[in-house]
Structure 1
């Protein structure tokens, strides 16, 4: 299995831990750092050109996700053990440790999803919003729908270890 591609921008190459899984079709450009045991799945694009992107450990960005930055001051920073669903758009925002973003969501400049915060599938989080710890945001535009449940917490706790194991299996196919 082939690996994803890394590209420099203005002489700056991505820095990727040795055990990261970069799926075929993924593109990582410029000032991007990705921590240990994280996974960047099929056809993701991470473009750190006009600002930087930082991704922690055991975080996964699922298929078709796009990560970009705001050149006016907002990098994109994603913590440890973060779950990001399929076809998510992240732009100049912060996802703190153990947060969750459901598939096909959009999170814009200046937004923060706090540790333990959850964004539902298909949500549109407009600029400068804060998804607080323990909140589930949903809708278009997104707003706080409810407090997360014990079931939500269990889902979030299982996700990062599951994807780290799955990524290790896929990575073994690349060698």
Structure 2
């Protein structure tokens, strides 16, 4: 396999010690923080939508028959695992949570910290999911949905600032000889 299949938007923001390799596509204003791993090395493709942030210690991978798609304006919290699933737009994946193969998370959801979304789970749009295994606790309020959006937009600004101050690479400035970002 050619591990240098990355498609990174020039306006993405990438920490120098993130690991990104294989069949991975990062949209405009995607921010990948320190220690995050996106491995598109097995089966299908990882796609991350515009304005999404992948925080420290996150693992994004895929299965042989299950690509991983993360929508626009999402926040994937510290230490989460996103594996072979589909995450809609404007979703908060809480710290330390796990979303497994073939799960589908609708738009405008919150996956609570530490939740386990088991394989094949279908989560309706606008839901709060908590627990292990994760269950719908209730519908989100309009304020909570708006807060997801505001938080993701704030992380776009943080990513831009980190690029401007030299702490992250812009998507079009990742060194060709980076040991962890397969350009």
Could you state the TM-score of these two structures normalised by the residue count of structure 1?
0.90
Q: Are 1:62 and 2:55 counterparts?
A: yes
> What secondary structure is seen at the aligned counterpart in 2 of 1:121?
coil
Larger relative contact order (CA 8 Å, sep ≥ 6): 2
Give the alignment of 1:26-65 within 5 angstroms: 26-50=18-42, 51-65=44-58
Q: Which residue of 2 aligns with 1:107?
A: 99
How big is each residue's C-alpha offset from its partner over 1:131-164, in whole Å with a ceiling of 9 and x where there is no partner?
1111101001111111112342232121111000
Q: Are 1:131 and 2:162 counterparts?
A: no
Say whether the 8 Å CA contact 1:100–1:119 is kept in structure 2. yes
Residue 171 of structure 1 and its aligned partner are, at CA, apart by: 0.8
Q: Which residue of 1 aligns with 2:72?
A: 80
> What secondary structure is seen at the aligned counterpart in 1 of 2:151?
helix
| Cα distance in structure 2, aligned partners of 1:59 and 1:123 | 20
Structure with greater strand percent: 1
> What secondary structure is seen at the aligned counterpart in 2 of 1:64?
coil
RMSD: 1.3
Q: Which residue of 2 aligns with 1:141?
A: 133
Say whether the 8 Å CA contact 1:89–1:105 is kept in structure 2. yes
| Cα distance in structure 2, aligned partners of 1:62 and 1:22 | 11
**Unaligned stretches of 5+ residues in structure 2:** 170-183
> Which segments of structure 1 move beyond 3 Å, counting only runs of 4 or more?
none
Range with bigger deviation, 161-170 or 142-151 = 142-151
Residue correspondences, number: 166
Could you state the TM-score of these two structures normalised by the residue count of structure 2?
0.87
| Cα distance in structure 2, aligned partners of 1:11 and 1:167 | 25
**1:169 pairs with 161, 166, 175, which one?**
161
| Cα distance in structure 2, aligned partners of 1:145 and 1:28 | 34
